[in-house]
Amino acid sequence: PREEIAYVTCTYRETCFDQPDFLATIDLDPRSPCYGQVIHRLPMPNLKDELHASGFSSACACSDGATKRTKLILPCLISSRIYVVDVSSECRAPKICKMIEPVDVFWTCDKGYLNVPRSLPSGDVLIANLGDPAGNAKGGFIVLDGETFELKGNWEEECQVPPGGYDFWIQPCQNVLVSSAGVIPKLSGRRFCPEDFNKGIYARRLSVWNLSCRTVTQCFDMGEDSLPLSVKFLHRPNAAEGYVGCALSGIVYRIFKYNWAVEEAIRIPPKEVSGWIMCKMPAFTADIIISSDDKYLYLSNWLHGDIRQYDICDTRRPRLVGQVFVGGSILRGGPVIVRRDEELKCQPEPLVVKCKRVYGGPSQMQLSLDGKRLYVTNSFYSTWDKELYPDVVREGSVMLQIDVDTEDGGLSVNKNFLVDFGEEPHGPCLAHSIHFPSGDSTT
């Protein structure tokens, strides 16, 4: 069925409004009088959590074939708190049903800076983390019981703790988990700083795990300051390949089973610019998504401002078939002048939707199950938003809908859809993760 509502995580951290983060429920039904509006807000009971990633407690990966999505897991990137939200009792007005305090996470797991949650085949919930409670680099995973949502402890063996973490994907039929590395929390928490390059702050490691043994079997060095973030596998149950987006190198790697190996699949060149914090602006792959039929890969380029659609019928040679700019740092009339561009002949025009100028660049995406509607928000991380896109912090995030040509490829902005988080009752906020209770291309 077509998605009718979406849950979007929203934060007030790094804004001038001392308000709690909240989970927004968005009306996506074109027949509804509230289409494209926030119809419910679930405020968190604490301040400055930084709601970031989210995920359902039960997904198609579960061994019993269950697809019920009754609980939404909200780990907090900064506070390390975990909220469990009941979305089944009243899906348009969800409620918090459990909260795990940071001190419990710290003492039980010696982990902090929580990010992506996904379901294990057992039904338990796995949550990736970026560091330890002090903000030092320390990756790995914590486990929640899939029924009670009690904290069970760490997933990996102590000797298997990776030096960093961010995102991961599970492929049960191949008995594999692939995880990416992020940044050192206590250092990246300052700002996006060019002086941090070549200092090991931006990670370079990709880890392949034996799912049943919970041990690392292979590691790949993706290059200095490559910052591998988003990991997605093909949806076919037996698929033994996927893609990893490296944020700062502009490279998307294909990972495949040949005793597991990686190869470059997509490369987005940097742009030579003036008026920016560096003379070369790298592509910043904030998110990648694979359509449910495994035909297309979508990529959000947070700094340059474009969303790209690649045909991956030949998985080794993705072919660019769609591209649309929805903001970014290189727009015409802005402070940045592009001096040399290997791809574009001129700087893109600013985007205006429903009389609102869209600032910032595309960050998190979600794709409908039929592949025809791609939704996108434009907050990546509040501290970096404030540094690189202060207009987004001042004006608030937006959520856009991109119409997709699923036959021949092609992307276009739906000019009749805009969720304006700058009009929130308590002031403009920053929107990030998107999920549909009816199912989407990442759950």
Write phi, then psi, for 347 (nearest 5 degrees): -75, 140
Which residues are within 8 A (CB) of 70 and not within 5 positions of it... i.e. 6 or more apart? 57, 58, 86, 87, 88
Task: Confirm whether 374 is domain-assigned.
Answer: yes
Give Cα 266 distance to the centre of its chain. Answer: 19
Partners of 170 in the β-ladder: 177
Task: Confirm whether 369 is domain-assigned.
Answer: yes
Task: Confirm whether 12 is domain-assigned.
Answer: no
Tokens coding 421: 């988080």
59-93 pLDDT, tens digit per residue, is: 444 444 445 688 999 999 999 999 999 999 999 99
How many whole angstroms separate alpha carbon 79 and alpha carbon 44?
A: 12
Q: What is the pTM of this model?
A: 0.95
Residues 230, 410, 418, 285, Cα dihedral to 10°: 20
Tens digits of pLDDT across the chain (443 residues): 899 999 999 999 999 999 999 999 999 999 999 999 999 999 999 999 999 999 998 744 444 444 568 899 999 999 999 999 999 999 999 999 999 999 999 999 999 999 999 999 999 999 999 999 999 989 999 999 999 999 999 999 888 888 889 999 999 999 999 999 988 888 766 678 777 888 878 889 999 999 999 999 999 999 988 999 999 999 999 999 999 999 999 999 999 998 899 999 999 999 999 999 999 999 999 999 999 999 999 999 999 999 999 999 999 999 999 999 999 999 999 999 999 999 999 999 999 999 999 999 999 999 999 999 999 999 999 999 999 999 999 999 999 999 999 999 999 999 999 999 999 999 999 999 999 998 888 88
Q: What is the span of the domain harbouring residue 410?
A: 105-418
Task: Confirm whether 434 is domain-assigned.
Answer: no
Report helix, strand or coil for 230: strand
Write phi, then psi, for 207 (nearest 5 degrees): -115, 140
304-345 pLDDT, tens digit per residue, is: 999 999 999 999 999 999 999 999 999 999 999 999 999 999
Task: Confirm whether 345 is domain-assigned.
Answer: yes
Contact 69, 58 (CB under 8 A): yes
Count: domains in the chain: 1
Residue 303 CB-half CA count within 13 A: 25
Task: Confirm whether 136 is domain-assigned.
Answer: yes
Type of residue at 165: G
How many whole angstroms separate alpha carbon 188 and alpha carbon 400?
A: 28
Task: Confirm whether 53 is domain-assigned.
Answer: no
Task: Confirm whether 59 is domain-assigned.
Answer: no
CATH code for position 370: 2.120.10.30
Cα–Cα nearest to 129, from 218, 138, 121:
138
Which residues are within 8 A (CB) of 292 and not within 5 positions of it... i.e. 6 or more apart? 235, 367, 369, 370, 371, 441
Give the largest Cα separation in the chain, rounded: 56
DSSP 76-113: BTTT--EEEEE-SSSTTS-EEEEEE-HHHHHHHH--EE
10-42 pLDDT, tens digit per residue, is: 999 999 999 999 999 999 999 999 999 999 999
